[in-house]
């Protein structure tokens, strides 16, 4: 069932932000509202210039543009370049799937998510920028893919539930990897302090 991963993931994220994030964290309410609006808007779509576009993809793209607008100079330039690369990767994967689906030997959504996650992690270090770049590049990739197929009179909805499933898996993988990086960093710091203490004693 398309969309089930998206709904499960976002409900879990909503529970985490509502009940487990510190109430003093200024981002707590922001994240909670975004998650709830994403769930609510996921079942709605509009037609724009002959293309069917999900409202949630417009909402997420608007938020991504807002965050990109706050960047400056080299940071913005680098972000746009990496997002362009993600857009091309997204569109290329979709076209390969359409014209040569034989090479998809594993589950399509998971293969897609792993590729996007790997590229995002390699290009960005901050968790927040990873998620924003993923959303920014993927939605633009959806638009490009839909426009290409529209030339051949094939209507593909932008931001479908299947797309949201891929994004949800990718976000979970990014959060899991970022958490692993933090644990590794804490462990290395702890080991360093122990070695430093032993050095002083000797």
Mean residue pLDDT of the chain comes to: 86
Q: What's the confidence (pLDDT) of residue 192? A: 65
Categorize the per-residue pLDDT at 183 as very low, low, confident or very high, splitting at 50, 70 and 90: confident
Pairing of strands 45-48, 51-54: antiparallel
Q: Give percent of the chain above pLDDT 70.
A: 92
Q: What's the confidence (pLDDT) of residue 121? A: 93
In the block, which residue shows the tokens 């959060």? 175
Q: Give percent of the chain above pLDDT 90.
A: 37
Residues 72, 65: Cα–Cα separation, whole Å: 13
In the block, which residue shows the tokens 């710091």? 189
**What's the farthest any 2 CA atoms get from each other in the chain?**
76
Name the range with the highest mean pLDDT among 48-52, 86-90, 102-106, 186-190. Answer: 86-90
Q: What's the confidence (pLDDT) of residue 198? A: 65
pLDDT digits (tens, 9 = 90+) for 109-118: 888 899 999 9
Whether 98 shows a pLDDT value over 80: the answer reads no
pLDDT: is 24 or 76 the higher one?
Answer: 76
Q: What's the confidence (pLDDT) of residue 200? A: 62
Whether 74 shows a pLDDT value over 80: the answer reads yes
Whether 189 shows a pLDDT value over 60: the answer reads yes
Whether 79 shows a pLDDT value over 90: the answer reads yes
Q: What's the confidence (pLDDT) of residue 196? A: 67
- Phi, psi (deg, nearest 5) at residue 36: -65, -45
pLDDT: is 103 or 10 the higher one?
Answer: 10
Residues 90, 98: Cα–Cα separation, whole Å: 13
Domain boundaries, the chain: 4-196
Entry pTM: 0.86
pLDDT digits (tens, 9 = 90+) for 146-179: 888 888 777 888 888 888 999 999 999 999 998 8
Q: What's the confidence (pLDDT) of residue 194? A: 67
| 170 C-beta neighbours (distance < 10 Å), count | 26
């Amino acid at each position: 069932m398309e969309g089930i991963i998206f709904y499960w993931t976002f409900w879990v994220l909503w529970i985490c932000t509502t009940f487990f994030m510190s109430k003093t964290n200024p981002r707590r309410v922001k994240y909670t509202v975004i998650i709830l609006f994403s769930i609510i808007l996921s079942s709605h779509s509009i037609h724009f210039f002959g293309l069917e576009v999900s409202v949630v993809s417009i909402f997420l793209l608007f938020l991504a543009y807002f965050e990109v607008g706050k960047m400056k100079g080299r940071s913005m330039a680098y972000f746009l370049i990496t997002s362009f690369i993600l857009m091309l990767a997204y569109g290329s994967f979709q076209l390969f799937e359409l014209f040569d689906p034989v090479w998809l030997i594993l589950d399509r959504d998971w293969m897609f998510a792993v590729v996007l996650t790997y590229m995002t992690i390699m290009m960005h270090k901050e968790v927040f920028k990873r998620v924003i770049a993923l959303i920014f590049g993927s939605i633009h990739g959806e638009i490009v893919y839909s426009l290409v197929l529209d030339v051949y009179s094939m209507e593909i909805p932008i931001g479908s539930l299947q797309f949201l499933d891929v994004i949800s898996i990718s976000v979970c993988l990014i959060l899991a990897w970022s958490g692993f990086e933090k644990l590794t960093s804490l462990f290395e710091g702890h080991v360093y302090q122990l070695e430093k203490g032993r050095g002083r004693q000797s």
